[in-house]
Amino acid sequence: MKVKKKEKPNIIIILTDDQGWADVGFNGATDIPTQNLDRIAKEGVVFSKGYVSHPYCSPSRAGLLTGRYQARFGHDCNMPYEGENDDTIGTPLSEKMISEALKEQGYTTSAIGKWHVGDHPNLHPNKQGFDHWFGFPGGAMNFWGIPNGPLRTIYRNGKEVSQEELSYLTDDFTNEAIEFINKNDKKPFFMYLAYNAPHAPDHATKQYLENTKHIEYAGRNIYGAMVNAVDVGVGRIDSTLKAKGIKDNTVIVFLSDNGGRLEHADNRPNRGHKGMLFEGGIKVPFFISWPKGLKENQVYNNPISSLDLFPTLLNIAGGNSELENQLDGKDLIPYINKTNTDKPHEALFWRSSGGFEYAVRKGNYKLYKSAYKEKTLLFDLEKDPKERYDISDTNSNIIKELEEDYKLWDSNNLDPGWFDPHAENVIKEEQKLNKTKRNSLHPKLRNQ
The residue ranges that bind Ca ion (CB under 5 A) are 17-18, 57, 257-258
Taking the complex as a whole, the smallest distance from the CB of residue 31 to Ca ion amounts, in Å, to: 21
Minimum CB–partner distance for residue 65 and Ca ion (Å)? 14
Minimal distance, residue 115 CB to Ca ion, in Å: 12
* Residue closer to Ca ion, measured from CB, 57 or 151: 57
259: buried, middle or exposed (CB in 10 Å: 19+, 13-18, 0-12)? buried
∠ CA 167-177-12 to the nearest 5 degrees? 140
Burial of 266 (0-12, 13-18, 19+ CB in 10 A): buried
Residue with the closest Cβ to Ca ion?
57
> Distance between CA atoms of 317 and 83, rounded to whole angstroms?
34
Distance CA 11, CA 43 (A): 15
Would you call 153 exposed, middle or buried from its count of C-beta atoms within 10 A (0-12, 13-18, 19+)? middle
Q: Which is nearer to Ca ion, 20 or 319 (CB)?
A: 20
* Closer to Ca ion by Cβ: residue 231 or 257: 257
54 is annotated as an active-site residue: no
> In angstroms, what is the minimal distance from the CB of 143 to Ca ion?
15
Catalytic residue among 54, 75, 116, 273: 116
Report the residue number, 18 or 76, with the smaller CB distance to Ca ion: 18
Residue 17 or 266 with smaller CB distance to Ca ion:
17
Q: Are 51 and 303 in contact (CB under 8 A)?
A: yes
Q: Which helix (H) or strand (E) holds 200?
A: none
Q: Has 57 been annotated as catalytic?
A: yes
Q: How far is the CB of 55 from Ca ion (least distance, A)?
A: 9
CA 32 vs. chain centroid, Å, equals 20
Determine the residue type at 140. A
DSSP letter assigned to residue 260: P
Positions marked catalytic: 57, 116
